[in-house]
């Protein structure tokens, strides 16, 4: 009876050992799979980083060489920190469609670069002769600036580019709760016209061939780059300023 009991116990223990070995084998295989999956995941994650770097370098090599210019802000309105390492000066025209695109481009990067203190954005007027309302729109924005509402009017002008007119300037001034009498008087003020003409003269002396023209720390480009390209240009300027 005892012998039978011992045999049964021995068989039970042997099965338990076999089961334990099977379990250990399964656990070992699972661990191998997990390690393998982890390595695959690392490879997958590493590949985009490498591809991203290659893509960035390809974009960087495709950016046209800038023209070096010496220009200041001309006392014009700016957004961002005055101590930002990079200054972005834009010569623009409120009636120019490409300038409107650049306006939207700046909106898309504003939080990451302007509000973060990385760049200081300066707007300078370059109203082209071919645009009927460009000069009056520039004067309108500067007059709003006299009542501390430059950027609010700037947005009105670009957001409603197809409605630029003396009538709408007054409508938008009213919406911004400006002193309308002071605003109307300002629209014909020599001081304001001189400010716009000064920007215009500066742009012509720099031989700027079109709008928008943007200058990143004295390096000038013409046109509207894709957002991805523009971010790389700004990042490179920030990195260079930190050297």
SS (H, E, C) 56-78: HHHHHHHCCCCEECCCCCCCCCE
Give me the pLDDT at residue 32, please: 33
Give me the pLDDT at residue 52, please: 72
Give me the pLDDT at residue 65, please: 87
| Exposure on the CB side of residue 113, measured as CA atoms within 13 A | 25
Give me the pLDDT at residue 73, please: 95
**60, 130, 202 from 198: Cα distances, Å:** 34, 19, 6
Domain ranges of the chain: 1-62, 67-242
List the structure tokens of 114.
Answer: 């302007």
Distance CA 138, CA 196 (A): 7
Give me the pLDDT at residue 31, please: 41
Are residues 173 and 137 in contact, defined by beta-carbon separation less than 8 angstroms? no
Lay out the sheet containing 86-92: strands in order across. Answer: 67-68, 219-222, 213-216, 86-92, 119-125, 78-79
Tens-digit pLDDT string for the chain (243 aa): 444 444 434 444 444 443 443 444 434 333 433 333 444 345 445 556 667 778 788 788 778 888 999 999 999 999 999 999 999 999 999 999 999 999 999 999 999 999 999 999 999 999 999 999 999 999 999 999 999 999 999 999 999 999 999 999 999 999 999 999 999 999 999 999 999 999 999 999 999 989 999 999 999 999 999 999 999 999 999 999 998
Give me the pLDDT at residue 43, please: 46
List the structure tokens of 132.
Answer: 């009927």
Are residues 93 and 123 in contact, defined by beta-carbon separation less than 8 angstroms? no
* Closest to 100 (Cα-Cα) out of 108, 92, 88, 111: 92
Distance CA 215, CA 237 (A): 11
* Closest to 146 (Cα-Cα) out of 179, 194, 100: 179
**Among the four given CATH numbers 3.40.50.620, 3.40.30.10, 3.40.50.2000, 3.40.350.10, the one describing domain 67-242:** 3.40.30.10
CA 16 distance to own-chain centroid:
65
pTM: 0.77
**57, 95, 210, 242 from 130: Cα distances, Å:** 38, 10, 12, 41
- What lies within 8 Å, CB to CB, of 170 at 6+ separation is 180, 183, 184
């Amino acid at each position: 009876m005892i012998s039978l009991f011992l045999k049964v116990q021995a068989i039970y223990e042997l099965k338990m050992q076999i089961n334990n070995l099977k379990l250990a084998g399964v656990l070992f295989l699972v661990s191998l799979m997990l390690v393998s999956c982890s390595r695959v995941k690392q490879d997958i994650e590493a590949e985009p980083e490498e591809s991203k770097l290659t893509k960035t370098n390809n974009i960087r090599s495709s950016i046209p060489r800038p023209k070096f210019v010496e220009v200041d802000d001309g006392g014009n309105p700016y957004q961002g920190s005055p101590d930002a390492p990079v200054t972005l000066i834009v010569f623009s025209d409120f009636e120019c469609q490409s300038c409107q695109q650049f306006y939207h481009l700046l909106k898309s990067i504003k939080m990451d670069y302007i509000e973060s203190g990385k760049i200081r954005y300066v707007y300078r007027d370059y109203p082209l002769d071919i645009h009927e309302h460009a000069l009056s729109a520039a004067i309108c924005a500067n007059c709003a600036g006299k009542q501390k509402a430059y950027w609010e009017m700037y947005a009105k002008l670009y957001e409603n580019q197809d409605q630029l007119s003396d009538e709408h300037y007054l409508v938008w001034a009213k919406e911004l709760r400006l002193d309308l009498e002071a605003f109307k008087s300002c629209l014909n003020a020599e001081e304001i016209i001189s400010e716009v003409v000064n920007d215009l003269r500066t742009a012509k002396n720099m031989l700027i061939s079109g709008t928008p023209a943007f200058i990143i720390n004295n390096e000038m480009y013409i046109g509207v780059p894709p957002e991805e390209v523009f971010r790389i240009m700004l990042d490179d300027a920030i990195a260079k300023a930190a050297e």
